[in-house]
Each structure stands twice: as structure tokens, then as C-alpha cells.
Structure 1
Amino acid sequence: AALVTLVSLSDSDKGLSSRWQPEDSQLRLKLLPSGGKAGGKLKLSIWKGPGAGLEKYAASLDAGEPADLSPLTKGGPPRWKEKLETETRLGADNGAFAVDILTAPMENPWKSWMRLGGFDFFADGRRAAACTWMGDVWLVDGMGTKSGKLSWQRIATGLFQPLGLKIVDETIYVLGRDQITVLRDLNGDGEADHYENFNNDAEVTEHFHEFAMDLQTDAAGNFYYTKGGRHAKDSVVPQHGSILRVSKDGSKTEILANGFRAPNGLCVNPDGTFFTSDQEGHWTPANRINWVKKGGFYGYMWSFHKGKKPTSYDPPLCWLHPRYDRSPAEQLWVPKGCWGQLGGHLISLSYGTGAISHILHEQAGDLMQGGATKLNIPIFPTGIMRGRFHPGDKHLYLCGLFGWAGNRTQAGGLYRIRHTGKPMHTPLKLHATTRGLVLTFSDPLERKRAASADRYSIERWNYLWRQQYGSKDYKLSDGKIGRDKVSVKSAVVSKDGRSVFLEIEDMKPCMQMLIRYKLTGADGARVSQEIYNTIHKLGDHSKAAKLFD
């Protein structure tokens, strides 16, 4: 029997005018306010079935008043009434940095797995919102105080693996694999009553590896996040392996750059460029810290390509050997006025090792190059995912989790790093010139050791960009597996004792260099670090030489 469709519409107070309009082989119902009223109530019934049953169904239609749905727009009683109290545990402040633990309620009545993948502060600085990888969002009260109690309130659940959160105009936006969701509290009890779809342009497949990471905004109010590619498989949707921009009103999404395998975190720069990390794997010979420009391709061939596939890639700011960091996460700028001499500098978080690195960088023509060195901050017990500097106390707050391969296996955590004002004894700048390397430190060095060439050791090597997972180290000298030793001919210390020129006779570009040194500060402190760096171009030595006149 032929199927028919019956549509019935009833309007209670004539506050709406209706019109049926055929359009593109469909019947569209258009509703408009009428009679000077702002709106009204209506009831729409739709039935589809065999024609023989049409009269029977039509007779059963209730022509009564449409139900009043307004109570459902005002929020309901709280689902999670209990607020959980934890404490802030202060760390020792005998070094340049102190680490405080903002204890999370790992044991809670709802067995919520507290693997924290994103957070942000409200304007008052006392409160923050944090999301867990399992789909919850929590309010945290008591932030921005040196010590004391923290109050945790579960306010939402059921989101799809959220790994980014941003608060805009006191409203919480959460990034899941499927969409950006706005959480609306309709009755002021703190809980989200309405989970509003802000933008669901995200292209989702069943593949486990296509994480949606981080959530940031620019000065114009646009939103940005990263989308992972498929592991060991070619892309099937255009967004695989990309950086995405969502308009301020959520109406459209644009792919800005691609070629990413697993970009965990995003730093939005004022000039329209970005920093993001990527992880060693297929078509990614080592971890990358990328300086990203719109339209760039960053190496992962199994990200999406429209038309002919590329035969080369935009190089990273620096490669990072997996021995240094097996899985870098977000990069962020230290605000000027924070953290002493590191104010205005770039740092990088590590999911894989739980460490914090300073990213030394310099412009090299149209490229950016530099390296990474770990700050003297205790290693965290969980992988660090996201960081934000507090609007009030100016300290760095961090959240993290353990969810896939990594060295730090605590399920999750929330932390604060305080700069104590004590000497950092860390590199601030690295310049590669035609004659060698210039290192500038935060604090003066003991001159005798710093001027001894045998206090430094340098190696360099290249990687092979190919489909296979990762890469061996390959010598520049003969292309064979291994590393070249680089001889430091001499070491010259600047007058202020903060810079050292390492003379190297055969300076040349390389994908990876490892610089080690064992020095002493002028105050007797031990200064022993490693720098993993990349050289794309050699700079003019005459500019660097002015430090040593």
C-alpha cells in the first residue's frame, strides 16, 4: 500500500503565522510572529503510514491546547548536589620555581575519572572550569590563593572526549571530537542545564587517533583547535591532520593548514601564525615544534590533500628527538612581567615526560629555527596537556592526564608553577652563525669554566622523512646511521659573563643538533643542561660578535 504523510499544526494564541511552502521537492513550514506578538505556542504532529490508516489517525489527533514548555527553559534541580573539597599543597621554594599541587577529587561519588584535558579561568580568577577526557566538566573554586581549600562541583557530563576548554565572556566553551559545546546555566545553581551546539562542523570518523585538541581564541573572537590524522592510515575527510578556525558566531569552519599527525595543543600568535607540536610516527621522523603559517603543509602525508600530493614539507622550528620528549603538547607565551627574564619567551609542555621546556628561537629568513631545553622545574607525575597564566597572581597553572603512551602515569592532575625570583641559570637565547653558536644565559657564568672548550660537547645528525614510523639518526658527513661529533675550537665569554661564543669551524645546517655543557654560575650554582636544536640557515656572525667586543 502507498505510504502517505500527514502533518497537523495547531496554534494556541495566534502569536505565530504559518505558511506551507514547496521548495526543492520538499514541503517547508515557515513560522513568523504575527499580531505584534513576539512569539507563541504551537503543536506540530507528523504521521507517516499506509493510506488506509490515514482517517483513523486523523480522527485521533488532539486539537487541544499546546503544552506549556516554558518550565523546561529555566533549568532543573541539580543532578550532582555534593561539592567536593580538596586542598592546595605548596611545594618547596628553594629554587627558581616552586610547584604546588591543586589536589583533584580523584575519589568522588560518581567515579568520574579525573583525567584533565583542558581548563580556563573566569574573570574573577577565583574560579576555573576544567574538562576531563571522559566527558565531564567541573567548576573549581578557590584558585589564585597561595594556599587553602578548593571546591569542586561537577556541572556537566556526556561530552565526547573533550580536550580543550575556553571561557569567553564568562561562558564555557568545550571542544569535543564532535563539536564545540556551550554550557548554559539557566537557574544560577552552577550546573549546566542546556548543552548548546555552537559549531558541529567537526568531521568525525570511527578512527581512535583523530583527537580534537585544545581550544583557543584570537583578538577578533574566532576559535581555533587542531584535528589529528589517522594512525598508519590515509585520511578520509578533509579535516584529518589540520588546524581549524571557527568564526566568532560559530557559523563556519575553515581549514588553515594541514600535514599534522597528532598536534597536541595550539598557540595562537597575534600575527596570524601559530605554534603547535606533533608526534614522532609515520611520515614524522621525530617530534616537531612547528611554527605554522596559513596554507602550510607540515609533513604528515596521510593528512588530507586535495589534488596532487606534495613532495616536500614546511620544516619545523625544531625537531625533538624522542629521547628528549616522546610526546610534546601545548606551547604558550610567558606574559611580559611574569617569570622574570623569561617574560615574553615561549615555553612548551610535555605530555610524554611531564617536563616544561623553554623554546629558544630566532628568525632565519622566512623560517624560524631554534631548540628546546628543559627548565629546572620538578617533573610532574602526569602528562602535562594545557597551561594558562592566571590573570591575578601571574603564576602558570597546568592540567594533565595519562591516556596513551607516556612516561608519567598518574591519571590526572592540576598544578601551579610559581616563579620565586631566585636565579634560573637557564639559556635565554641561541644564535647559529657562520662561525659557531652564541648562547646567552639568564645569569652570569663563572668565567674560567665557561671559557674552557672541553666543557662543551656537540653532536649533529639528520632524519629521513618517509612512510616508516620514526627515523634513525643519520650522519651529515657520510649519510650512514649515527651522529657526527662536532669539535668546539674555542669558547669566548662576553664581558657581562652571560653569553658564550662557541667557535665551530664547519658550521652547517642540520635537522638535529645536541649541545651539552657542564658549567658553573658566578654564584657557584651548577649549570648543566642539554639543548636539542635545529639549524635551517646560518646567520651573520658580525651581529653576534658585538656581544664580545
Structure 2
Amino acid sequence: MVKPPSCLLVALCAFAVPALGLAGESQSYKRIEILTASSPTTSRSEQWTPGKGLPLEVSGMAWYRDRLAVSIRKGDIWLLDNTLGSDPAKVTYHRFASGLHEPLGLLVSGEDLLVGQRAEITRLVDRDGDLVADAYLTECDGWNVSGNYHAYTYGPEEDGEGKRWVTLNLGMGKFTNNKTGWRGWGGTIGADGQFEPRCFGMRSPCGLGPNLEGDLFFSDQQGTWIPATPIYHLRSGVFYGNQESLGTLKEKGAPFQLTSVPKANQPYPKALESCPEFVPPAVWLPYNKMGRSATDIQLIKTGNKFGPFEGQLLVGEFTNSAINRVFLEKVNGEYQGACFPFLSGFPSAVLRLLFAEDGSLFVGLSNRGWSSLGNRSYGLMRIEYNGDNPFAIHEMRATPTGFHVSFTEPVDLASVKEGSFSFERFTYQYSSKYGGDEILKKPLPVSGTTWGDDGKSVRIDVADRAAYYVHELQIKHLTDRKGRKLEHGRAYYTLNQIPKG
């Protein structure tokens, strides 16, 4: 049983399992369950109750004073010690703060912790060094707060210039109030502590994270006006497509106006071309093929301690309890790139991700309020790379004539057959309806392939590509020189810009 917060470090029971490969996944990664548990009620129950012990519904993570700080949805922040060991039973838990309103993000600021809760960004100050917050200070506020269940606040997250960003969920269902108070906007923390709105058209911008260059990206959720799962480049002066917050443009302090409002019920590429402020996702994660609800974004920056994907992004997946991988490049000044399946089979929804200094990845789980695959309701896991290089697609880049695809290991060229590479393009309908099907689907002919001397890359000439379309690649038959089959022989490239020759 969890002791009162006045105690020193306390140990809790955990479901400890051996380090195992995730079911059906690469043998290059193993998992350690630090703590997972199940609720006796369903995830959508209005009478939802946690299991016994600490309800570790992980909603935010940060490294604070050499400990893993974890916020949980009921309003506490806990400091965890011994999380990098091999024995979950030796992890200890100490309550740092309590009484918060559904905190969904943590960021270290000097000796303090910043936490995003519904009404504000709060600075938590430990003045006497006893690992308990003594002061809860308002760092930023100034947005609409209501009782709507979906009126979440995400962040803060810092970009490469030091600006701290916050994103605001739309209210949903009955009793929404999205026409005032910056719902569906992203903005920064002003010097006066006020929220500074900078961009809008978001629906449920659950995850934020930087790339190597320090540019921030956010994930949004498939739903009204959003036909599939997008990953957007977060920046000022742009519109991301959801029209439910158009009324906020009448607010005093709106930083810009739309030149025109895109008309509904037209193909997404045409809608984008109708409004200069309307920007496409850097990457679409096609619905079902790549999950159904993206969450956190985490940059792989570990000095290759997590395998061969340094500099790429990991994206959490809620409904399918998985983690996907994203490669980004910049073409003609616009971010675009490809997404790939990575790890699946987690026991609950993946909500938050955080790397440790040793290169292992902490995975925070919580599925309350929605549904996910798995047999647990919440918890915390750690993923380690075992040093065995997987055979997988490494990168997928656009070229003037097609795509350049690289692999993590040399391909056995004898395994390459006619039809090993096939392409199809598709887009979506821009509409207010919930989600959307793939439309204007077209198989694309492959006119030629050229392999690199090392067998680790191939240039593929592809006809009839189109800007703002998703280009789906399916790879069959390939093995590496060790005889291993290619992991996840599919990729989805969002081609916003075609490179110039």
C-alpha cells in the first residue's frame, strides 16, 4: 500500500517479468516491466477505479535530480529511484507533488519542475531539498478552462531557440466552448506568464518533441477534419486544418487571420492549395496500417545506444499499444518523410516516451477513457537494445525520379525478385466528418532500380508521383546476407515536395 507523502522512499509491488522481446517483434530489443496493473473496471467506465497500489497512469516523464519524475493522471508527481537496474522490485517511489489537475507534461527548468495541468503551467519548487515541492507557482495561463472532459493541456516542451510551447485540446461532445480562449491552438509561454497563441487548427495535439535541429513537432488525432493520424511541424502563423476553432480568430490578440477558409469535401491536396496558411503534415500515419491514435514524440539521440536509428523520431501509439518510427527530411524548405512500424505488443496504451542516459527507452502506459490493446490498464516499462543490429528499412528519401531506400544491413541481392518493390499513392478527403478513407488510390509503376555497391541502398524510379499524397511502399522477398527476413517490409512516405532535378 502507498504510504503518505511524508514518508521517505517506499517500495511498491510490481509485475516483474524477465527481459523479453516484444511479441512478434525484433529480437534486437527487450523489455523490462517496472510496474503494470489492471483496473477492475473497463477503460471507458464512468466508475473507473485503479488496481491496488500506486495507480501509475503515466502522463508525463522527465529526469529530475538523477531520478525519473513521473506525473500520473490522478494529479501526483512521483520520483522513482533505481529505474535503470535489472530488478523492478528494487525501484522505489517518492511523492514529490500532489493535487494537480490531470497533468500531461513535465519539463525540467533549472532546479524546478514545470508541469502542464488543465488550467495552467505550474512551476514546482523544492526550496529545502527534501524532494517534496514546497511551492506551486503559476508559470503561464490565459486559456479557456471548462469541465469538458477533453479540454486537455499538453506540454510544456522547449524548442531549439529556448521557446517553451504548449498545445491545447479542443473540447469535444456536448457543452464544448471552442470559440473562445484558444482551444485548438499552440503557443508559447510569454515573458509576462501569459499564453501567446501562435498557430491553430489542432484537434488533440497529444505529443510534442524536437528533432535534431531543434524544430518541434506534434502529433494529432484522427477525427473531425483530420482523416488519419498526422505529425506536424509546430511553428507560428499556420493553420493545421481543424475548423472547430475558427471562432477564436475573432479574439483580441489573434496573431493572424486566414486568407481564405478551405472548403470542405474536397481532396486534401486541393484544400491545401486553397489557403496559404493551411499546411500539410510532415508525415501521415495511415489509419489502422500505422495505428489509430498517435501520442508522444521522442527523438532518438543516444549515441547509437538504441540501435541504428539515431536522429529519427519515435511516436507512441495509444489504441494499438505500439511505437512507430519516423524519418524526416527537408525538401524545398518543407518537412516530409516516411513512417515505419517499430515495436508493438505493449500491455496497454503507449502515452509517454523518454530516453535515459544509458540509451534505454522508458515507456509510460495509460488507457483510461479510451480503449487499447493489451491486458493492463497502466504502468511503466523500459526497452533496451541488445546490440544485435536488426534488418530493417533505415531511411526512405525522395529523389527527383522516385525514392532512395536504405537498409540497416546489406541485402542479399539474390533475394531480390521482380515485384520485390511495389508502390501505391493515395490521399484523403478534407471533411468535417470523423476520420476518412484513403481516396484517389493509384498503383505506381516501378521503371528501374539501382543498387549501391554495399548492398545497403537502392534507388527506385517511380512514375506518376504526386505532391501532398502518401506513397505506400511494399517490399517482398528480401533477406540480408545472414539469411534474415526484412522486418516490417512497408513504409509510407508523405510527399509534400518533389525534389528538383
**Does the alignment reach a TM-score above 0.5?**
yes
Over 3 Å counting, the alpha-carbon distance change for 1:160 and 1:512 in structure 2 is same
Over 3 Å counting, the alpha-carbon distance change for 1:372 and 1:234 in structure 2 is farther
CA drift at 1:109: 10
Equivalent pair of 1:329/1:385 in contact (CA under 8 Å) = yes
Structure-2 residue corresponding to 1:239: 182
CA drift at 1:461: 1.2
1:343 alignment partner, one of 295, 310, 313: 310
2:382 alignment partner, one of 406, 409, 416: 416
Q: SS of the counterpart of 1:361?
A: strand
1:117 alignment partner, one of 59, 62, 78: 59
2:450 alignment partner, one of 479, 492, 496: 492
Q: Is 1:92 matched up with 2:2?
A: no
Structure-2 residue corresponding to 1:276: 218
Q: Is 1:532 matched up with 2:492?
A: yes
Equivalent pair of 1:177/1:202 in contact (CA under 8 Å) = no
Over 3 Å counting, the alpha-carbon distance change for 1:514 and 1:405 in structure 2 is farther
Over 3 Å counting, the alpha-carbon distance change for 1:272 and 1:295 in structure 2 is farther
CA drift at 1:160: 0.8
CA drift at 1:384: 1.4
Q: Aligned equivalents of 1:334 and 1:319: distance in 2?
A: 20
2:328 alignment partner, one of 361, 364, 389: 361
Q: Aligned equivalents of 1:118 and 1:487: distance in 2?
A: 45
Structure-2 residue corresponding to 1:449: 415
CA drift at 1:537: 2.2
CA drift at 1:284: 1.0
Structure-1 residue corresponding to 2:45: none
Greater Cα shift, 410-419 or 300-309: 300-309
Q: SS of the counterpart of 1:306?
A: helix
CA drift at 1:326: 0.4
Structure-1 residue corresponding to 2:480: 521
Equivalent pair of 1:320/1:533 in contact (CA under 8 Å) = no
1:141 alignment partner, one of 78, 81, 101: 81
Q: SS of the counterpart of 1:302?
A: helix
Equivalent pair of 2:450/2:458 in contact (CA under 8 Å) = yes
Q: How does 1:214-229 map to 2 (within 5 A)?
A: 214-218=155-159, 222-229=163-170
TM-score norm. by structure 2 comes to 0.82
Equivalent pair of 2:210/2:299 in contact (CA under 8 Å) = no
The residue type equivalent to 1:355 in the other structure is A
Q: SS of the counterpart of 2:415?
A: helix
CA drift at 1:439: 0.7
Structure-2 residue corresponding to 1:171: 112
Over 3 Å counting, the alpha-carbon distance change for 1:470 and 1:488 in structure 2 is same
Structure-1 residue corresponding to 2:140: 199
The residue type equivalent to 2:350 in the other structure is I
Over 3 Å counting, the alpha-carbon distance change for 1:535 and 1:190 in structure 2 is same
Q: Aligned equivalents of 1:423 and 1:110: distance in 2?
A: 39
Structure-2 residue corresponding to 1:380: 346
Structure-1 residue corresponding to 2:194: 252
Q: SS of the counterpart of 1:362?
A: strand
Q: SS of the counterpart of 2:91?
A: strand
Structure-1 residue corresponding to 2:279: 314
1:130 alignment partner, one of 57, 70, 75: 70
2:206 alignment partner, one of 254, 264, 267: 264
CA drift at 1:189: 4.5
Coordinate RMSD, CA, aligned: 2.8
The residue type equivalent to 2:226 in the other structure is T
Over 3 Å counting, the alpha-carbon distance change for 1:104 and 1:221 in structure 2 is farther
Equivalent pair of 1:201/1:252 in contact (CA under 8 Å) = yes
Percent identity reads 24
Over 3 Å counting, the alpha-carbon distance change for 1:236 and 1:465 in structure 2 is same
Q: Aligned equivalents of 2:491 and 2:372: distance in 1?
A: 20
Report Cα offsets for 1:103-136 as digits up to 9, x if no partner.
Answer: 2577999865321111111242xx2111111212
Greater RCO (Cα-Cα under 8 Å, separation 6 or more): 2
Q: Aligned equivalents of 2:370 and 2:51: distance in 1?
A: 28
Equivalent pair of 1:179/1:199 in contact (CA under 8 Å) = yes
Q: Aligned equivalents of 1:282 and 1:419: distance in 2?
A: 38
Q: Aligned equivalents of 1:130 and 1:336: distance in 2?
A: 21
Q: Aligned equivalents of 1:80 and 1:465: distance in 2?
A: 54
Mark the structure with the bigger radius of gyration: 1
Q: Is 1:508 matched up with 2:475?
A: no
CA drift at 1:86: 4.2
Q: Aligned equivalents of 1:258 and 1:277: distance in 2?
A: 13
Over 3 Å counting, the alpha-carbon distance change for 1:194 and 1:92 in structure 2 is same
The residue type equivalent to 2:204 in the other structure is A
Q: Aligned equivalents of 1:244 and 1:523: distance in 2?
A: 50
Structure-1 residue corresponding to 2:436: 471
Structure-2 residue corresponding to 1:7: none
Q: SS of the counterpart of 1:462?
A: strand
Over 3 Å counting, the alpha-carbon distance change for 1:397 and 1:254 in structure 2 is same
CA drift at 1:179: 1.4
1:293 alignment partner, one of 213, 235, 258: 235
CA drift at 1:427: 1.8
Over 3 Å counting, the alpha-carbon distance change for 1:102 and 1:471 in structure 2 is same
The residue type equivalent to 1:196 in the other structure is L
1:330 alignment partner, one of 287, 290, 296: 296
Over 3 Å counting, the alpha-carbon distance change for 1:414 and 1:99 in structure 2 is same
Equivalent pair of 1:106/1:113 in contact (CA under 8 Å) = no
Q: SS of the counterpart of 1:303?
A: helix
Greater Cα shift, 486-495 or 132-141: 486-495
Q: Aligned equivalents of 1:136 and 1:354: distance in 2?
A: 24
TM-score norm. by structure 1 comes to 0.75
Equivalent pair of 1:80/1:155 in contact (CA under 8 Å) = no
Equivalent pair of 2:425/2:465 in contact (CA under 8 Å) = no
Q: Aligned equivalents of 1:234 and 1:156: distance in 2?
A: 30
The residue type equivalent to 2:366 in the other structure is L
Report Cα offsets for 1:404-462 as digits up to 9, x if no partner.
Answer: 33433522121212122212222222122343222111111111223x23123322211
Q: Is 1:407 matched up with 2:407?
A: no
Equivalent pair of 1:117/1:133 in contact (CA under 8 Å) = yes
Q: Aligned equivalents of 1:79 and 1:445: distance in 2?
A: 59
The residue type equivalent to 2:482 in the other structure is D
Q: Aligned equivalents of 1:261 and 1:342: distance in 2?
A: 30
Q: Aligned equivalents of 1:231 and 1:333: distance in 2?
A: 30
The residue type equivalent to 2:484 in the other structure is A
Stretches of structure 1 that go unaligned for 5 or more consecutive residues are 1-76, 476-482, 542-549
Equivalenced residue count is: 452
Q: Is 1:430 matched up with 2:396?
A: yes
